[in-house]
Amino acid sequence: MFEGFRVDDLDVGEATLHVRWAGEGPAILLLHGHPRTGATWHRVAPGLVAAGFTVVVPDLRGYGASTGPEPTSDHRPHSKRAVAGDMVELMRILGHDRFHVVGHDRGSYVGLRLVLDHPELVERIALLDCIPIVEHLERITPEFATQWWHWFFFAQPSTPERVIGADPDAWYRGDPEKMGRENYEEWRQATRRPEVIRAMLEDYRAGLTVDRSDEQADRAAGRRVDRPLLVLWSERDDLEQLVGDPVAIWRDWATDVRGYGIDSGHHMAEERPDELASALREFFA
């Protein structure tokens, strides 16, 4: 994986991020989702480098081989605002004062917070398989609660750590053929570590508390994404089924938004890397 990429662990203040990067030209920051590591981008990142971009692929704080602070009762250390701050410092260290952002799943919420808090740093942004957290919570239906029950289970104190930690392989079911063997092995090693499991759960606990409050404050203040936004979603996942047209929802949050579905399951970077890379190259060109 990631042939020709540099790999290092970089201190960004509150966290130490495991990072891969390569290329020359405009920078693209790739942010993974749950329960993946940055290795989920292994079929997409090299093509973006070949297209003339610099590509930066971190593990989010607490995920994969990255570390972060201990959780607190208010979940702030694992808020999207805190993780977005990691990314600002990471890109500063690597010499990028402006860059593109791509976020998938939980990484999309980091990307949203990054462009809202630091719009001067972001050129364009692509968000995959997500709508804002508050939009989901205000649309709760029995179908959503049934299919996305993990949001609320993960938010419970202590119990999820015990349940998942008892048999991580049974909980996090991966497919080495779909994922790629090296990606699978990196992911499997990470998800067997108790500190990683806890950090991933804190991500969700922050989502339903402090991240939700931050999004509500943004909306009340009339803050919007003022950079071009590309929204992509997996047609064989359930986002569109549950909420309707994601682009229509994002129009309330962004001034310039476009998007469409990709014929894929949830992990489109692994399942439809060529189609995804093509969409990103066109959008960031």
Domain ranges of the chain: 6-284
- Closest by CA position to 219, among listed 283, 161, 132: 132
pLDDT in tens, 100-116: 999 999 999 999 999 99
Q: Among this protein's residues, is 86 annotated catalytic?
A: no
Phi, psi (deg, nearest 5) at residue 124: -140, 160
Q: In Å, how far are 17, 34, 177, 193 from 189, measured between CA atoms?
A: 17, 14, 17, 7
Cis upstream peptide for 273 (omega within 30°): no
pLDDT-based confidence at residue 163 (cuts at 50, 70, 90): very high
Catalytic residue among 59, 86, 105, 218: 105
How confident is residue 98, by pLDDT bands cut at 50, 70 and 90? very high
What local confidence, expressed as pLDDT, does residue 52 receive? 98
Q: What is the pLDDT of residues 220-266, one digit of tens each?
A: 999 999 999 999 999 999 999 999 999 999 999 999 999 999 999 99
Q: Which fold has domain 6-284?
A: Rossmann fold (3.40.50)
Q: How confident is the model at residue 18 (pLDDT cuts 50, 70, 90)?
A: very high
Phi and psi at residue 28, to the nearest 5°:
-125, 125
The pTM of this model reads 0.97
Q: How confident is the model at residue 53 (pLDDT cuts 50, 70, 90)?
A: very high
203 included as an active-site residue: no
Q: Mean per-residue pLDDT for 156-171?
A: 96
Q: CB–CB of 2/42 below 8 Å?
A: yes
